[in-house]
Structure 1
Amino acid sequence: MPFIRVSYQEDQYTPTELPLISKVIMEALIEHFNVPEDDCFQAFHAHKPYEFYYNRNYLNVERSDRLLYIQITLKSGRSTAQKTGFYKSLAEHLANIVNVRQDDVFAVLVNTEFEDWTFGNGIAQMIQASENGKEGGLE
């Protein structure tokens, strides 16, 4: 049940690269957090340069204009090892598959609970699934 927002500076990524970024993110979520393959909800946002701000070398990370902000809202409960494995895999695969510099992969996980989600129809589907013993993992 993760919801992913990817923000980037316009004209930095091509229409061919964006689906690859989406795929890499999903594969890392599946591998490290056991997210079901069909649980894909992502929004990509291109920003004009005057709408996109960042420190080029905060914490000794050398960022470029191809910086990706990847915000993932998901159910709480992942271990530190899962999270760090996810971050490493995400950066490596984006570098290898999309040619994104690892320095330009900025990811943040936002933890929520089942009652914080509706997937439509005004129903908290994850609460119902949890009550019926059908959590389907910790998506």
Structure 2
Amino acid sequence: MPFIRVSYREDQYKQEELPAISHAIHQALTEHFRVPADDYFQVFHGHKPGEYYYDPAYLKVTRTDRLLYIQITLKSGRTEEQKRGFYARLAELLPACGVRAEDLFVVLVGTEFEDWTFGNGIAQMLERKREEAQRDA
């Protein structure tokens, strides 16, 4: 149930590049966090150069204007190993999309089941959790 926001400088990426980046992110999510293939919710935001700031060498990583900020809101509880594997997999997949590993800035934001609705004013993940508990009882 992740929700992904990707921010980039609009003068650095072409619209044709974004679908491949999106699919690479989703592939890494399915591989390392076992996200279902149809759990696919992403938003890309292009920014003008004057709206986009970063340090080009923070923590000895050399960044360029092709830096991608990737914020992933997802259910908390992933292990450190899963997170490290996910970051590494993104760094493997995205160069094929023209994104240098050094230009990846990823933030994971953990939430709980009650923090989500996927429509109709229903907390679907709480309903699913309740159904699973009743089945297991």
Place the TM-score, normalised by the shorter chain, in its bin. over 0.9
Deviation at 1:116, TM superposition (A): 0.3
Cα separation, 2, equivalents of 1:133 and 1:17: 40
- 1:137 is matched with none
Normalising by structure 2, what TM-score? 0.95
Task: Write the letter of the residue equivalent to 1:113.
Answer: E
Query: What is the correspondence of 1:35-74 to structure 2 with a 5 Å cutoff?
Result: 35-74=35-74
Over alpha carbons, which structure has the higher Rg?
Answer: 2
The one-letter amino acid paired with 1:133 is E
TM-score (norm 1): 0.94
Question: RMSD in angstroms over aligned alpha carbons?
Answer: 0.9
Q: Distance in 1 between matches of 2:104 and 2:58?
A: 13
2:104 is aligned to: 105
Q: Quote the residue 1:114 is aligned against.
A: 113
Once the 2 structures are TM-superposed, how far is the Cα of residue 91 of structure 1 from its aligned partner?
1.2
Deviation string 1:68-125 (CA, Å, 9 cap, x unpaired) is: 0000000011100000000010011101x21211100111100000000001111100
**Is 1:84 equivalent to 2:89 in the alignment?**
no
Q: What fraction of aligned residue pairs are identical, expressed as a percent? A: 65
* Structure with higher helix content: 2
Displaced runs of 4 or more, over 6 A = none
- Provide the secondary structure at the position in 2 that maps to 1:29: helix
1:37 partner letter: A
Q: Which runs of 5+ in 2 are unaligned?
A: none
